[in-house]
Amino acid sequence: MSRTTFYAKRNIRRTPFQAIAASMVMFLTFFALTSFLLLAAGSQATLRFFESKPQVIAFFKEGTTDSDISTIENALKQDPRVINTKFVSKEEALKKYQRDNKNDPMLLELVTANILPPSIEVSTKNPEDLSAIAQILTKEPVIEQTFIPKDVIRNLTYFTTTVRLIGSAIVIFLLIFSLLIILMIIGFKIRIRRNEIEIMRLLGASTSFIRNPFILEGVFYGLIGAILAWVVSYGILWYFTPFLQGYLGEVRLLPVNPYFMLILLGTNLLIACFVGALGSFGAVRRYLKI
Amino acid sequence: MILFENVSKKFGSTLALDEICLEIKQGEFVFIVGPSGAGKSTLLRILTREIQPSFGKVKLGNIDIIKIKDKDLPILRRKVGVVFQDFKLLDDRTVFENIALALEVLDKNDQDIKKLVEHICKLVEIWDKRNLFPRQLSGGEAQRTAIARAVVGKPDVLLADEPTGDLDPKTAWGVIQLLNEINSWGTTIIMATHNQEIVNTLKRRVIIIKNGKITKDDKEGKYELH
């Protein structure tokens, strides 16, 4: 094994530009793979968050009295589909706004309690009942507007599916592309070392003695690409975490769980080994007639 | 030890070897002589299974060279050392590394490699050249390096295909003396050549091949050009 590693290292050292090119292609592939996996996991978690909170938010018109609000709240509590209601006053809305935007003083300066309408948040047992409750509330003369996260869920579902489809297509394309690049580079290296291989064969080298350094070389390119891609992706995510946290609001996705990132790294490394080894093996089968 | 039974080899419509029957015993020094294109190199390349004969049977000890599986070829090739006219040294490796390669493929450890390479380098008198690259060597030194590489793994047979072809007479004699010495260790040597002087001086077994056929096989033969 140590001799295989020694030969693989020497092969890499002797053609540094090819090694850099192969590692960069693998980096691109695994950067795309990591990015799409993060995006897919993030959108999936966001979707789950909204799905787990079947809620209608109804905003009251300006000048709505406490008795009007109590009447509506009592009526809703009588409805068997409703499991909880919560009145949010102007002041509470402001506090929530201030909490959500604590990192942005500009936004905090512009908003006062007066411009935020009071609202009522209605939770149902089943998300399917949200539309019916929203319809009832819309008919109330004191209700300005109702909002249900159904649209958000629909949009998110569409977004998640699209990310998965486009991501899978791009990643599959890049994996095939990387596979071919590794095959081409290792094949080229085999060709330029034809004399050496011929001499090794005549000296009685076993197939594995000649083949294994090339396979290890392909695996090395894959691993380097995968590790670099993971580091860069994690770095970018870490850098943008404060911004994204503000944007995501109540959806607590960030900072991303380090355990999840380690699983992602492990997955990347496994795929990298597979792609690198497969590409090299293809080259060895194609060009190394032992 | 080496047995050729009715061995023929065709390249397209050209008959390179025609029903060769030959037996070489362990420890013999055999010259294969004949004009260019007679089939000398073909005979040697069959012994390393670089090429398969079209017909016949070839054995090296217990190994059936025709039937041996590709995956078992290293077993055969570790028993047969080869020296070429053009040396076939690796240009990007030093003398030491070129010789060490033959032991690396045998999976020897670094300590053994160092010891064995030093030993053989001293025997073939290239120890002081061990850190030089092939382009820095004279023809004789390069051929000594190639011989050292071929024998460092202690093969049973050493095949030398025109090893003196590119050397001046004095250097050629040095190489022949070295081969003679290796033969004295018990290694069978089969040398293809058309160097009349060397063959006639050494008075060893001479097999003459012409047009793919053995025309003469003398125990202490001579080679006359005519």
Q: Which of A131, A148, A165 is the last residue of a domain?
A: A148
CB-based contact A203 B153, cutoff 8 Å: yes
Calculate mean pLDDT across residues B71-82: 92
Q: Which residue has the higher pLDDT, A249 or B216?
A: B216
Tell me the C-alpha distance between A50 and A155, whole Å: 11
CB-based contact A204 B105, cutoff 8 Å: yes
Q: Which of A200, A212, A232, A220 is nearest to A269 (CA)?
A: A220
Q: Which of A114, A148, A182 is the last residue of a domain?
A: A148
Above 90 in pLDDT, residue A75?
A: no
pLDDT category, B65, cuts 50, 70, 90?
very high
DSSP conformation letters of B23-77: EE-TT-EEEEE-STTSSHHHHHHHHTTSS--SEEEEEETTEETTT--GGGHHHHH
Q: Which residue has the higher pLDDT, A154 or A92?
A: A92
Task: Give the CATH number for residue A118.
Answer: 3.30.70.3040
CB atoms within 10 A of CB A266: 12
Backbone angles phi, psi at B191, to 5 degrees: -120, 120
Residue type, B199: V
Per-residue confidence (pLDDT) for residue B47, from 0 to 100: 93
Tell me the C-alpha distance between B158 and A107, whole Å: 88
- A170 lies in the same domain as A111: no
Inter-chain Cβ pairs, chain A and chain B, closer than 8 A: 44
Judged by a CB distance cut-off of 8 A, whether residue B47 touches chain A is no
- A199 lies in the same domain as A233: yes
pLDDT category, A130, cuts 50, 70, 90?
confident
Per-residue confidence (pLDDT) for residue A52, from 0 to 100: 67
CA A280 to chain B, closest CA, distance in angstroms equals 20
Judged by a CB distance cut-off of 8 A, whether residue B112 touches chain A is no
- A90 lies in the same domain as A203: no
Judged by a CB distance cut-off of 8 A, whether residue B88 touches chain A is yes
Window 10-49 of A, Cβ < 8 Å to B: 14
Q: Which of A159, A163, A166, A136 is nearest to A148 (CA)?
A: A136
Q: Which residue of A has its CA nearest to B158?
A: A203
Per-residue confidence (pLDDT) for residue B43, from 0 to 100: 93
Give the burial class of B150: count Cβ atoms within 10 A of its Cβ; 0-12 exposed, 13-18 middle, 19 or more buried: buried
Calculate mean pLDDT across residues B39-54: 92
Q: What is the 3-state secondary structure (H, E, C) of A116-159?
A: CCCEEEEEECCHHHHHHHHHHHHHCCCEEEEECCHHHHHHHHHH
Above 90 in pLDDT, residue B81?
A: yes
Q: Which residue has the higher pLDDT, A245 or A54?
A: A245
Candidates B104, B152, B156, B157: best to mutate against A (most CBs of A within 10 A) is: B104
Backbone angles phi, psi at B195, to 5 degrees: -90, 100
DSSP conformation letters of A220-259: HHHHHHHHHHHHHHHHHHHHHHHHHHHHHTT----SPPHH
CB-based contact B105 A203, cutoff 8 Å: yes
Domain positions in chain B are 89-154
Q: Give B-chain residues touching A200 at CB under 8 angstroms.
A: 101, 105
In the numeric block, the tokens 């996705």 are attached to A253
Per-residue confidence (pLDDT) for residue B120, from 0 to 100: 92
pLDDT category, B225, cuts 50, 70, 90?
low
Tell me the C-alpha distance between A119 and A146, whole Å: 9
Residue type, A107: L
Q: Which residue of A has its CA nearest to B74?
A: A204
- A163 lies in the same domain as A282: yes
Judged by a CB distance cut-off of 8 A, whether residue A285 touches chain B is no
Per-residue confidence (pLDDT) for residue B97, from 0 to 100: 94
pLDDT > 90 fraction of chain B, expressed in percent and rounded: 57
- A38 lies in the same domain as A88: no
- A16 lies in the same domain as A64: no
CA A22 to chain B, closest CA, distance in angstroms equals 24
Q: Which of A133, A148, A163 is the last residue of a domain?
A: A148
CB-based contact B106 A196, cutoff 8 Å: no
**Whole-prediction pTM:** 0.72
Cβ-proximal residues to B148 (8 Å cutoff; 6+ apart), any chain = B99, B117, B120, B121, B123, B124, B126
pLDDT per position as a tens digit, A140-170: 888 888 887 666 767 777 777 887 788 788 8
Judged by a CB distance cut-off of 8 A, whether residue A206 touches chain B is yes
Per-residue confidence (pLDDT) for residue B86, from 0 to 100: 85
Calculate mean pLDDT across residues B44-59: 92
CB-based contact B105 A209, cutoff 8 Å: yes
Above 60 in pLDDT, residue B226?
A: no
Q: How far is CA B188 from CA B30, B31, B80, B191, B200, in A?
A: 8, 11, 9, 10, 19
Q: Give B-chain residues touching A196 at CB under 8 angstroms.
A: 90
CB-closest option in A202, A206, A209 to B48: A202
CB atoms within 10 A of CB B120: 24
pLDDT per position as a tens digit, B177-202: 889 989 998 999 999 988 888 888 88
A109: containing domain? 54-148
Cis peptide before A255 (omega within 30 of 0): yes
Q: How, if at all, do strands A82-88 and A143-147 pair?
A: unpaired
Q: Give B-chain residues touching A13 at CB under 8 angstroms.
A: none
Strand order in the sheet with B55-60: B14-24, B2-11, B55-60, B63-64
Above 90 in pLDDT, residue B171?
A: no
Per-residue confidence (pLDDT) for residue B167, from 0 to 100: 81
Q: Which residue of B has its CA nearest to A201?
A: B74
Above 70 in pLDDT, residue A48?
A: yes
Cβ-proximal residues to B49 (8 Å cutoff; 6+ apart), any chain = B65, B68, B73, B76, B77
- A173 lies in the same domain as A276: yes
CB-based contact A204 B106, cutoff 8 Å: yes
Number of domains in chain A: 2
User: What region, left, alpha or beta, does residue A255 occupy, with left being phi > 0 and alpha being psi -120 to 50 degrees?
Assistant: beta
CB-based contact A205 B149, cutoff 8 Å: no
Least confident range from A54-63, B53-62, B204-213: namely A54-63
